[in-house]
Structure 1
Amino acid sequence: MRLVRTSAAGLTAADVAAQTGQHLSTTRAHLDLLVEAGLLVKARASGGLPGRPAWRYRAVADDPAPAPYRALAAALLEHLPANESGVRDTAVRVGRDWGRQLAANVRDTANPVEAVTTVLETLGFSPRAHAPEGGTVDVHLRTCPFLDLVSQNPDAMCGLHAGVVRGVLEQRGAQGAGTVLEPFGAPDACVVHLPLPSLSDEDPA
């Protein structure tokens, strides 16, 4: 727990094994028990798809999301069993509908990036938009108030959040299909890659 908590970007089981001298299988078993206890969450940099990078573990955030959003997310999990095929696609579809509804409450003059960050701020993600090389826009999510729910079903929750962003973009007339949510994609943050050109050479935040 101490090792994971001191690593803002999270650690893999191999990282922990190397630092503790324990066997990898033993380390992984202990980490997964901490996930089951709700103390850690695990996710892949790819969003949990098979054949992707190793699981990374991170400590659960102290501040939960607003109660209505948590209730909606928890209700979704009840209908999306973990590790079942198609779970992520279903969660993305639900998220898209939710995102369109949330975006409707954002001021009309907000551009798509501003609409995305406004909705994510409302949900408690502490977002910050960046314009990396390549002319696109990334949004760093510096907190995840749903981490305890992510630990129950990472594919569903990460899919739900990616879907929310897609729905916001679509409500603003922008292309949302290429949106990718990358858990642990940057130090101190998960990263949402938006299929949008940068609005300027400056940080759009």
Structure 2
Amino acid sequence: MLNVTTANTGPTGQVIDTTRHRALGTVSRASILELTRAADGGLTIAEISARTGLHPSTARSHLDRLVNAGLLVKARSSGGQPGRPAWRYRTVPEEAPAPAPYRALTAALLDHLARQSRGDARAEAVRAGHNWGRHLAAATPRGKKPVDTAMAVLRGLGFDPDLKQTADGHTEIHLYTCPFLELVSQNPDAICGLHVGVVRGALEQAGAPASDAVLEPFGAPTACVVRLSLPSGATRPV
């Protein structure tokens, strides 16, 4: 008898991603995915539990399965509240990733941090990002203001940044694209720490004093937000 093996393909002839297919194999996970897609700023485990009636532990299990399948991404978002922030989940947008060399470098760095950081991968990632940001800013044409140089670095990495001034006079950078999103699930704290380190390093390389920039994942409905505490010289032409 002749055995013929054919590729698993979907209706359009595309090869089925079996990991994602299995992740959506239950009504609960499919419903969670739809709820998360409908929430611009993403949802926490507590919010998913309240909307579905699932126990928080069950909701967490389903969410982690969707994250592992690449259908959701998670990051910590405090919403300005004190204490350790909860995980917030959102769907993965269709977007262009960072150039392959940057992704490979970042993946290698995350792997190194996981093995060497002794439990404080975020702090190590911030330091590594700081050095990387200085290096990138040094190779970037200097802007009229330090923040302009930082914006150019972020654009070069593919973050689609937008500079905003808040009503109380503070400066924010909204990041509408995460070109390293595929790596976030490996270590969300480390990858977000790496990003804020890049901003701090770029600002300092461009002439701004040390900044305590803070990255708020999902700080806006459609963006992550970098909140800057900059002296006036960093926002005025130099």
State the TM-score, normalized to the length of structure 1.
Answer: 0.88
2:52 to 10, 17, 20: 20
Q: Which consecutive segments of 4 or more residues in structure 1 shift more than 3 A?
A: 197-200
Structure 2 residue 113 is matched with structure 1 residue 80: yes
Quick one: which of 141, 144, 147 aligns to 2:175?
141
Query: Could you tell me the percent identity over the aligned residues?
Result: 60
Could you list the per-position Cα deviations for residues 114-154 of structure 1 after superposition, in whole angstroms to 9, with x for gaps in the alignment?
11111111111111111113322100111112122111101
* Alpha-carbon displacement from aligned partner over 1:90-125 (angstroms, at most 9, x marks no partner): 111110111011112222243111111111111111
Q: Distance in 2 between matches of 1:109 and 1:29?
A: 47
1:89 aligned residue (115, 120, 123): 123
Q: Which runs of 5+ in 1 are unaligned?
A: 201-205
Partner of 2:186: 152
2:168 maps to a residue whose letter is: G
Q: Is the radius of gyration larger for structure 1 or structure 2?
A: 2
- 5+ unaligned residues in a row in structure 2: which ranges? 1-32
Q: Is the 8 A contact 2:76 2:189 kept in 1?
A: no
In the other structure, the counterpart of 1:203 is none
Q: How many residues align?
A: 198
Cross-structure match for 1:67 = 100
1:112-191 to 2 correspondence within 5 Å? 112-191=146-225
Which protein has greater RCO, CA pairs closer than 8 Å, 6+ apart? 1
CA contact (8 A) 2:163 2:173 kept: yes
Deviation at 1:86, TM superposition (A): 1.8
CA distance 1:168–1:71, shift in 2 (3 Å):
same
Contact kept, 8 Å, 1:135 with 1:197, in 2: the verdict is: no
User: Alpha-carbon deviation of 1:165?
Assistant: 0.3
Checking the alignment, whether the CA contact within 8 Å between 1:136 and 1:197 is kept in structure 2 is no
**Structure 1 residue 6, shift from structure 2 partner:** 2.2
- Pairwise CA RMSD: 2.2
Contact 1:43 1:55 (C-alpha < 8 Å) held by counterparts: yes
Give, as a single letter, the amino acid of the residue that structure 1 aligns with 2:157: L
C-alpha separation between the residues in 2 aligned to 1:69 and 1:8? 28
How far 1:60 moved relative to its partner? 2.0
